[in-house]
Amino acid sequence: MGGYTLVTGGAGFIGSHAAEYFAGKGQDVVVLDNLSRAELLGKSDKNASYNWNYLKKIKGVKLIKGDARDSSLVEKLAKDASVILHAAAQTAVTTSVVNPAPDFSVNATGTFTVLEAARKSRRKPTVVYCSTNKVYGHNVNDINVKELKTRYAFNEKKIRGITETFSIDLCEHTPYGCSKLTGDLYVQDYAYQYGIRTGVFRMSCIYGTRQFGVEDQGWVAWFSIATLKGSPITIYGDGKQVRDVLFVTDVVKAYDAFIESSIPHAVFNTGGGPENTMSLIELLGILEKETGMRSKISYSDWRPSDQKVYISDITKIKKTLKWKPAISPEEGVKRIISWVKGNISVF
């Protein structure tokens, strides 16, 4: 194939795992990141450089501090890239509602900048886009659900999950959902208009080690960190919301399966699927079982466009890419607990 793999947002949670994975395969990897996560989320920057410093130790990874919206820089880096994995993003729903301008700039303009760089590149790199289940917005809540003891569930047994053909239109999304959907559609259209090879991964709840979850984003990691630190946890809604969860190393393997395939363009709903689901309340139970600890819990209003149940139908990605989740929620949470314990000083 030649060339290198360019990972935008490569010092972030998913990006850093992707960079580590591809370098581990003997590929040259260029990481582009502006280390703005703490600023975007309005949080302390004490752990902002954790993954950056982690990647410094990995052979084959080159780190460049810069912005995915910097067209001249991205075009320069794309010239010799065979793959661009676009993971740079503003990732928090509530943050997008409070301050929508940077959300649009990072998620929509940043994606357009990457696509233009790919279009102009002599190598015509494959582009992998980290999309989200939030592109389906409030339409998901139009599916009838039933309330059980610890979770909500789809009322109809025949509904295993949300497919790629589910409606993305005529509903509330939140600015985050809109900005990510903008990127999603642009990535698809650059495949149709310019022949760029693209893979769009509409991800459900991705979780794992080196995820600095906060109250606004990364709930599995946040609950784990808060539990081990003895910090209080606020649940927005009633805690019975259900997500299919996918460990980060599994999603990176899905990216690789697409890159190594001959598929010219595809959209995949990507998550743990019906066999790998958790509610917020159920996660607290797992954490208490594994740690013997339970944070003080309080409740607040539902967040905008929160989905009571979101489960990805992963039939297409399993069949097309010969891929499936390998790490169970219980095993994944154990790995997070171990990582947090070993790095408690950075939280």
Q: Which residue has the tokens 């980290």?
A: 130
Q: Which domain holds residue 277?
A: 4-346
Taking a C-beta distance cutoff of 8 angstroms, is the pair 103, 175 a contact? yes
Q: How many CB atoms lie within 10 A of CB 153?
A: 18
Q: How many domains does the chain have?
A: 1
Average per-residue pLDDT in the chain?
Answer: 95
Q: What is the pLDDT of residues 73-103, one digit of tens each?
A: 999 999 999 999 999 999 989 999 999 999 9
Closest CA to 187 of 89, 262, 283, 284: 89
Q: What is the pLDDT of residues 286-336, one digit of tens each?
A: 999 999 999 999 999 999 889 999 999 999 999 999 999 999 999 999 999
pLDDT at 65: 97
Task: Please determine, for residue 110, whether its predicted confidence score (pLDDT) is greater than 60.
Answer: yes
pLDDT at 47: 62
Residue 176 is a catalytic residue: yes
Residue with more model confidence, 157 or 33: 33
Which CATH number goes with the domain that contains 21? 3.40.50.720
pTM: 0.96
Q: Of the residues 4, 129, 136, 176, which is catalytic? A: 176
CA separation, residue 323 to residues 1, 31, 188, 201, 257 (Å): 22, 26, 22, 13, 7
